[in-house]
Structure 1
């Protein structure tokens, strides 16, 4: 994702890359690592140093769940606006970050998915759940993903739960002979995670009704699919003075 962000920034007239942050690529030219040739911008291994010396407007973070919250706190404290695609933050952690952003008056965006089509799928799923409350989510990702369920599935489930009262689905005497066979439980419905090589990011939301099925599906076939959403978030975060959770909140829907 970092490589695709670099390519997107370099192809944009209104964005300028000032620094890359990576321990493993320290000192290397960011463009060479991204596969587009040297661009005269190098990697450092210190976020504190970048925030203090380079003074960026926006920090784009696609790291890992263990460090993303601290990265966001450092950025917000420094008056730098984080745009985050790393998933795995808990509801409590997001609330804490929202309070910090509000206190500092600094814009921030956390997006479980930057693909516009995936955001539309989530919004449409929430609308459908009003009329077809029997639902299950199946999300499928590459086998190097660290969190399950995915941020997209979590956000989809949260949106559905806002529009649908809790409904216990399935047979009341249903039993799992293998633990976890029915997936994770959320407000009466189930969420299933698949991890396999060859996948990128895919999700189906299945709705069942009397004599009918509705399937909403989104497929990201490569990471370039996320870049229009990242660019939009980088631009829109400059207009915010609070933390926004979900790309749907900055789209005209």
Structure 2
């Protein structure tokens, strides 16, 4: 079976890398691009052209579906676009695979309900990197024994949301095994707002945004007389492609909502 894949956000850096990976995969076909502009244009080897050569761009998911009947919509857009895109996809019977972070808990719950009603899968992956998923799982295992945790996530300066979806997911996974408690001195004085980072049940998350970075995260777990550091670094967007392809393949095998690539590994 050849999996027919449409991409929302195919003109972006992550989207163009994913388009190339899907095109090279023997069991997949890149059939259409969903965008908010350039309707009727074409994407040919990562370049946007007006000539009818390559994969067509659509501004309407309904029209894209009518023309190509994609099995999967890979969404690599932004938090404002991804939720309505996923709603429309599920209504049409297209399985969303979402690589955009920033969805609210209410939106995630709504998508889960829509998947249950429609009987199709939706995969939400805050991070497609296999190494990053393993880092999160290892951190959750370690937190059984070392419950004082701080997370430092570092991304490029064009990233919109803070903290990152990966950091939030890491904190959620750790929270499932960690007893909530405050860390640091009980009378701690914070003299500059935000100096201690975001608070998640007493854990701290620190977000760094700088040019030259791509996607990096370090989880620090402290104990009496010791420190465990678990770190993952993505230096190239190609590091996300094995997870992208895995998620697409798994989406056609599932009939439910999957929150996190760790559920598939």
TM-score scaled by length of structure 1: 0.95
The separation in 2 between residues aligned to 1:126 and 1:24, in whole angstroms, is 42
The separation in 2 between residues aligned to 1:17 and 1:205, in whole angstroms, is 36
The separation in 2 between residues aligned to 1:29 and 1:153, in whole angstroms, is 36
Query: Displacement of 1:24 after TM fit?
Result: 4.3
TM-score scaled by length of structure 2: 0.91
Q: Which residue matches 1:136?
A: 150
SS of residue matched to 1:176: coil
Query: Displacement of 1:44 after TM fit?
Result: 1.8
Aligned residue pairs total: 249
Alignment of 1:102-113 (within 5 A): 102-113=116-127
Unaligned runs of 5+ in 2: 1-13
The separation in 2 between residues aligned to 1:230 and 1:177, in whole angstroms, is 43
Alignment of 1:90-109 (within 5 A): 90-109=104-123
Query: Displacement of 1:26 after TM fit?
Result: 3.6
SS of residue matched to 2:93: coil
Q: Which residue matches 2:19?
A: 6
Unaligned runs of 5+ in 1: none
The answer as to whether partners of 1:6 and 1:31 remain within 8 angstroms in 2 is no
The answer as to whether partners of 2:20 and 2:45 remain within 8 angstroms in 1 is no
The separation in 1 between residues aligned to 2:262 and 2:53, in whole angstroms, is 33
Name the one with the larger helix percent. 1
The separation in 2 between residues aligned to 1:241 and 1:63, in whole angstroms, is 24
TM-align CA RMSD: 1.4
Query: Displacement of 1:210 after TM fit?
Result: 1.2
The separation in 2 between residues aligned to 1:192 and 1:216, in whole angstroms, is 15
Query: Displacement of 1:34 after TM fit?
Result: 4.9
Q: Which residue matches 2:246?
A: 232
Q: Which residue matches 1:18?
A: 31
The separation in 2 between residues aligned to 1:83 and 1:199, in whole angstroms, is 25
